[in-house]
C-alpha cells in the first residue's frame, strides 16, 4: 500500500460532502479508514497529508485531568493546529483518578501524576505508549528518561517521574525499573513546590520549611489540605525543624505518620493554622486577603498574588544538610486502553504536538516547566527564556500566558534557574503504601 493509494481516496469524500452531506461522506470514509489508518500510522506523519486532514476531522479527543495541567487554551490551540477536536475536561485530583479507573471509556487522554500512572497501569486502564513514536523522546530531559540531570541523581522519595515512566510490555501492569521502550505516560508539565510568604510581614528571608511551623506565625499560617501531599509538606517542616528524620518522606511508616499527624494536631490546637487550602484559588485568596502570611503554595499562585500588587515571595528551599528541598510533581499524558485505529493515531499526533513547543512555552509563562525545554525555547522570547529558565534578571517586562503584565524588567525569579530549582527537589508527589491509614490520621488532624 502506498501513499498515493490513499490520497486518491480523499477526493471522493470531498466531493461527497458537497453533494450529499455528512451521512454519505462518513460512510465513504469508513471504507477508506483501514487503508488510511495504516498509511498514517506507518509514516511518522510530518506535516499531515491531505488524506489525514480529511480523515481526522470527526475525531474528538477528551483530555481529562486537573485544572493546572489540563488547560483549555492549550486544547484550543491543539485543535487549531491539528485539525481535529481536543476537549479539555477538569476534575480535582481524586475525582480524576476515580474517573480513570471506574469509567475508563469516558476518557481518551488521562492526565496522570506518577502515582496515578502506577495505579492506572495496575488496573489496566491505560496502554503502553511506544517511545519510538514520540518524536522528541530523545530530547526529553534525562530527569524523566534516566532519573538524572547533569550527573545529579534525582531523588526517589515518593514516586519520581522516572520511576513511573516505564513498563516492560505494552500491556504490563507493573512499573519497570529501568529503561524500556514502553511508557505509561508522556510527561508534560512539572514543577518544584515550596512555601509562599509575604516578605513585608514575615520580616526575613525564608529558605527553610521550619518557618512554616514557627510559633511566630501562629494564626497566620496555612498548609495544603490534600492528604497525600499535605503530609509531605508537613514532613518537610518537621524534618527541617529537626524533630524527626524520615526514612522516606514519600512512603512513611505508620510510626512516622503518627508522629507527623500528632505534631500537626498539637500545632492546630495551639491555633497555629489559620486555615488549610485545597485549591489554587483558595491559596491565592488566603494570601491576598491577609488571612495568612506564610503557607505551602504553588508557584503560579504566588504569581497570582503578586499580580494583585501584594508582595509575595516563593521561598527557595534548597537542600542543605540532608534537609529541605522542594516537593516535586509531574503530570503526564496516558493513553486509555480503548483507543485504537484512527483515534489512537490522532492521540499520538496530539502527544507529539504537545511536545513540539507551543504548550511548553505556554506553561513556562506561569512558572511551570516543559520536559522538552529545547522545543519550548523556540516559542519563547529571549526575555522569557532568561527569566523563567536561566534565572537571570528579566531583560524586559514579563507577561503571563494571556498577555497580562506580571513582572517589570530586572526582576529575578525566586529560587533561581531551572537547574537550581529542579536539582533541589527532595521528594515527589506520591501515594504511600499506608495511604489508607494516613488518610484516617489526616482526618484526625482535620477534626481535632
- The alpha-carbon radius of gyration of the chain (Å, integer) is 23
Q: How far is CA 371 from the centre of its chain?
A: 10
Question: Least distance in Å: CB of 9 to another protein?
Answer: 44
Residues with Cβ < 8 Å from 235, sequence gap 6 or more? 246, 249, 252, 256, 260
Question: Least distance in Å: CB of 94 to another protein?
Answer: 3
- Which of 22, 247, 290, 405 lies at the binding interface for another protein (CB under 8 A)? 290
Between 227 and 250, CB nearer to another protein: 227
Residue 215 touching another protein (CB under 8 A): no
Residue 123 touching another protein (CB under 8 A): yes
Cα(401)–Cα(376) distance, integer angstroms: 13
Residues with Cβ < 8 Å from 403, sequence gap 6 or more? none
Between 17 and 268, CB nearer to another protein: 268
Of 61-69, 152-160, 233-241, 274-282: span binding another protein (CB under 8 A): 274-282
Binding mask 87-116 for another protein (x = CB under 8 A): ------xx--xx--xx--------------
Residue 435 touching another protein (CB under 8 A): yes
392, 389, 387: which is closest to 376 by C-alpha?
A: 389
- Which of 57, 85, 274, 338 lies at the binding interface for another protein (CB under 8 A)? 274
Cell 518557618 belongs to 211
Residues with Cβ < 8 Å from 290, sequence gap 6 or more? none
DSSP per-residue letters across 140-179: S-HHHHTSEETTEEPP-SS--TTTTTEESSTT--SB-SS-
Residues in 249-268 at the binding interface with another protein, rule: CB under 8 A = 268
Q: Phi and psi (nearest 5°) for 73?
A: -60, -35
Residues in 225-244 at the binding interface with another protein, rule: CB under 8 A = 225, 227-228
Residue 154 touching another protein (CB under 8 A): no
C-alpha cell at 21: 452531506
Between 255 and 443, CB nearer to another protein: 443
Cell 477526493 belongs to 11
Question: Least distance in Å: CB of 438 to another protein?
Answer: 8
Residues in contact with another protein, total (CB under 8 A)?
Answer: 39
Residue 444 touching another protein (CB under 8 A): yes
- Between β-strands 398-399 and 405-407, what pairing exists: parallel, antiparallel or unpaired? antiparallel
Contacts with another protein by CB under 8 A lie at: 93-94, 97-98, 101-102, 119, 122-123, 219, 222, 225, 227-228, 268, 273-278, 282, 285-286, 289-291, 431, 433, 435-436, 439-440, 442-444, 446-448
Amino acid at each position: 500500500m502506498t501513499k498515493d493509494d490513499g490520497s486518491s481516496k480523499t477526493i471522493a469524500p470531498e466531493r461527497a460532502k458537497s453533494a450529499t452531506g455528512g451521512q454519505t461522506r462518513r460512510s465513504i470514509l469508513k471504507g477508506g479508514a483501514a487503508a488510511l489508518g495504516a498509511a498514517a500510522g506507518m509514516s511518522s506523519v510530518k506535516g499531515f497529508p491531505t488524506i489525514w486532514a480529511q480523515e481526522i476531522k470527526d475525531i474528538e479527543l477528551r483530555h481529562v485531568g486537573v485544572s493546572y495541567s489540563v488547560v483549555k487554551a492549550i486544547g484550543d490551540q491543539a485543535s487549531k493546529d491539528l485539525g481535529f477536536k481536543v476537549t479539555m475536561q477538569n476534575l480535582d485530583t481524586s475525582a480524576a483518578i476515580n474517573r480513570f479507573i471506574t469509567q475508563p471509556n469516558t476518557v481518551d487522554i488521562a492526565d496522570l501524576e506518577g502515582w496515578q500512572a502506577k495505579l492506572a497501569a495496575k488496573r489496566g486502564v491505560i496502554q503502553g505508549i511506544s517511545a519510538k513514536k514520540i518524536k522528541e523522546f530523545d530530547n526529553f530531559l534525562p530527569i524523566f528518561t534516566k532519573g538524572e540531570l547533569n550527573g545529579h541523581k534525582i531523588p526517589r522519595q515518593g514516586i519520581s517521574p522516572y520511576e513511573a515512566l516505564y513498563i516492560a510490555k505494552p500491556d504490563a501492569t507493573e512499573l519497570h525499573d529501568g529503561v524500556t521502550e514502553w511508557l505509561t505516560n508522556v510527561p508534560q508539565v512539572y514543577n518544584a513546590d515550596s512555601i509562599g510568604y509575604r516578605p513585608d510581614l514575615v520580616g526575613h528571608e525564608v529558605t527553610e520549611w521550619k518557618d512554616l511551623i514557627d510559633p511566630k506565625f501562629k494564626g497566620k499560617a496555612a498548609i495544603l489540605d490534600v492528604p497525600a501531599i499535605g503530609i509531605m509538606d508537613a514532613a518537610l517542616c518537621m524534618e527541617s525543624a529537626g524533630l524527626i528524620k524520615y526514612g522516606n518522606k514519600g512512603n512513611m511508616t505508620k510510626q512516622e505518620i503518627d508522629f507527623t499527624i500528632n505534631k500537626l494536631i498539637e500545632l492546630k490546637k495551639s491555633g497555629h493554622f489559620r486555615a488549610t487550602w485545597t485549591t489554587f484559588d483558595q491559596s491565592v485568596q488566603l494570601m491576598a486577603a491577609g488571612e495568612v502570611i506564610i503557607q505551602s503554595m504553588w508557584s503560579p499562585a504566588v504569581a497570582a498574588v503578586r499580580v494583585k500588587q501584594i508582595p509575595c515571595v516563593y521561598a527557595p528551599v534548597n537542600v542543605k544538610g540532608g534537609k529541605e528541598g522542594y516537593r516535586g510533581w509531574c503530570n503526564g499524558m496516558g493513553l486509555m486502553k480503548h483507543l485504537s485505529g484512527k483515534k489512537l493515531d490522532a492521540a499520538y499526533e496530539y502527544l507529539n504536538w504537545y511536545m513540539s513547543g507551543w504548550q511548553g512555552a505556554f506553561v513556562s509563562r506561569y512558572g511551570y516547566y516543559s520536559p522538552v525545554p529545547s522545543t519550548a525555547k523556540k516559542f519563547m522570547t529571549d526575555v522569557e527564556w532568561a527569566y523563567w529558565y536561566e534565572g537571570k534578571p528579566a531583560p524586559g517586562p514579563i507577561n503571563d500566558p494571556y498577555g497580562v503584565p506580571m513582572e517589570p524588567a530586572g526582576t529575578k525569579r525566586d529560587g533561581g534557574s531551572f537547574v537550581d530549582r529542579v536539582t533541589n527537589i527532595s521528594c515527589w508527589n506520591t501515594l504511600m503504601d499506608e495511604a489508607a491509614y494516613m488518610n484516617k490520621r489526616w482526618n484526625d488532624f482535620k477534626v481535632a
